[in-house]
Amino acid sequence: MEKHLEFRGISKSFPGVKALTDVSFKAEGGKVLALLGENGAGKSTLLKIMSGDLHADEGEIILNDQVVKFASPHHAIKTGVSVIYQERQLIPGMSVMENIFPGEMPVTKLRQLDRKKLKQNAWELIKKFGLNINPTTPVGGLPVAYQQMVEIMKAYQRNSEVIAFDEPTAPLTGAEITVLFDIIRQLKEEGKIVIYVSHRLAEIFEITDEIVVLKDGFKVAQMITSESNEQELIKAMVGRDIGDTYANLSRNEEIGDTLLEVNNLVTHAVRDVSFKMRRGEVVGFAGLVGAGRTEVARALFGADKVLSGEILIEGKPVKFASPKDAIASGIALCPEDRKDQGLVLLRSIRDNVCMPVLDKLKKGLFLDSKARTELAEEAIGKYSIKTHSVNKVVAELSGGNQQKVILGRWTSSKMDTKILILDEPTKGIDVGTKAEIYQMVCDFAKQGIGVIFISSELTEVINVADNIIVMHNGKISGQLRREEATEENVLALAMQ
């Protein structure tokens, strides 16, 4: 019998929000079904219901003609359903092999952990994935991309009937994506039910067979991938035709004098990095994973120690002992890993927006509650953050809205941001919100802010930045103006 998973009339509400309304569709074994939609469309909620992390208010899930109700994620896994989320479910202090086989580690006849067998099993899986990882390495010491691959290996070895991937390629390089797609094709051949969530439309057309589109919690379209196209999908997701995203950008045409100058910067991760950025300019940083882009950003923000070289802002040398010093000098960072490094997930929108300016929000000895609320409402209005309250916990927001909270923090009326560093600002964000963020970048530049735009998506770096710096192996390998940059010549510099 062919395997299948059916969602029938699924509805789910949270306080002030109807996340899903009467969602019904079927995913079949031996096919990859794409689940698309803008941030906040209901995709993550549906996956959490499927994994037993949440329970539907109405409706049911049917797996191979049997109604299933999962009491917990552990129950779902035991039933054969695995979900690989954007948020990694790993234990940083434990080794790669221990994370791949949690609760399923081999034991000796004396009922002790058989580390030799565990290591051998892990090596076999790592080789299958074509990775260069030592099974005994603590997961917390791996780059984000490798942590994601460990998460995928963990789900793969369970031999689940249903595997759902939630933005799996966001931190991966091209070579790693190729490996992942080979694994997904193998899962198809084995008759597995595969659900694939991604905002990268090119991937949807490469790896999926069918597409379901959600919007505002409703299923608005279902189609065969080979019979669709990008414009049709975007219109279904956004509700309108957004046209040529880059051609429609309103750019800053009045770039000013030198705002930031970096000379011969050296840290533990980068060497001899030198560049200039003018007021109102967007400087893009391109390169492969591990090239040193994020490390340059962290050094400029005072998060990584500068061993030698100099940083000048408006012609004046600066030295930062911590991010607090950088913020005081007008530098702000939206980090690559917004959940772990950019936000306090269990605190409210208000708390997150007001965090760097609490000293300016005091009334006597105490914080001014009204002023804090007004600042949060300013961010919500300015960036159209989808929420019913400033007190909503940030962890409950979609990825796009979380990114907007960080932007709201650094560009509030209480901040004096001169240099805004955006590290992978569109990672895990839908096409409609991406277009908004591109225009926001241009608007920041029009305000005289210098923007450093770091992205692994070459197309957006080439089309958003005024000038592009390409890095390879911790050094700058080339610089290009937007007019002369192509994916081919940027990639050539990135792989020197």
- Residue-wise pLDDT tens digits, 210-239: 999 998 899 999 999 999 998 888 888 877
| Backbone torsions φ then ψ of 350, nearest 5 degrees | -60, -45
Average pLDDT value for residue range 44-52? 93
279-307 pLDDT per residue, tens: 999 999 998 777 899 999 999 999 999 99
Residue 427 has pLDDT above 90, yes or no: no
| Per-residue confidence (pLDDT) for residue 234, from 0 to 100 | 81
Q: Where along the chain do its domains lie?
A: 4-238, 258-494
Q: And the tokens for 75?
A: 């129950």
Residue 170 has pLDDT above 80, yes or no: no
Give burial (CB, 10 Å; 0-12/13-18/19+) of 425: buried
* 219 contact partners, CB below 8 Å, separation of at least 6: 23, 24, 25, 212, 213
CATH superfamily of 258-494: P-loop containing nucleotide triphosphate hydrolases (3.40.50.300)
Domain pair 4-238 / 258-494, same fold:
yes
CA 356 → CA 237, 265, 302, 393, 452, distances in Å? Answer: 35, 27, 15, 18, 20
Question: How large a percentage of the chain has pLDDT more than 70?
Answer: 98
Q: Which region among 92-96, 168-172, 316-320, 483-487 has the lowest average model confidence (pLDDT)? A: 168-172
Q: Is the pLDDT of residue 187 over 70?
A: yes
**DSSP β-bridge partners for residue 20:** 12
**pTM here?**
0.69
Q: What is the DSSP letter of 140?
A: G
Q: What is the model's pLDDT at position 167?
A: 84
Chain centroid offset of residue 239 CA = 23
- Local structure of residue 355 (DSSP, 8 states): G
**Percent of residues, the chain, with pLDDT higher than 90:** 59
Residue 492 has what pLDDT? Answer: 85
**pLDDT category of residue 148 using cuts at 50, 70 and 90:** confident
> What is the C-alpha separation between 421 and 284, in angstroms, rounded?
10
Classify 17 in phi/psi space as left (phi over 0), alpha (psi -120 to 50) or beta: beta
Tens digit of each residue's pLDDT (9 = 90 or more) over 373-417:
999 999 999 988 989 899 999 998 888 889 899 999 999 999 999
Instruction: Output the pLDDT for position 243.
Output: 58
Distance between CA 470 and CA 455 in Å, rounded? 11
Which residue carries 């081999």 as its tokens?
106
| Structure confidence by residue, pLDDT tens digits, 55-80 | 999 999 999 999 999 999 989 999 99
Q: pLDDT tens across 152-167, in order?
A: 888 888 888 999 998 8
Lowest average pLDDT, out of 172-181, 250-259, 279-288, goes to: 172-181
- Rounded Cα distance, 466 and 221, in Å: 38
What is the pLDDT, as a whole number, of residue 227? 95
pLDDT in tens, 11-23: 999 877 788 999 9
pLDDT, mean of residues 454-472: 92
- Which range (42-46, 288-292, 344-348, 444-448) has the least confidence? 288-292
Helices 399-410 and 431-446, axial angle in degrees (round to 10): 10
CA–CA distances in Å: residue 241 to residues 231, 232, 476? 7, 8, 38
Fold adopted by 4-238: Rossmann fold (3.40.50)
pLDDT grade, residue 244 (50/70/90)?
low
Residue 242 has pLDDT above 60, yes or no: no
Instruction: Check whether 93 has a pLDDT greater than 80.
Output: yes
Structure tokens at 304: 């990584």
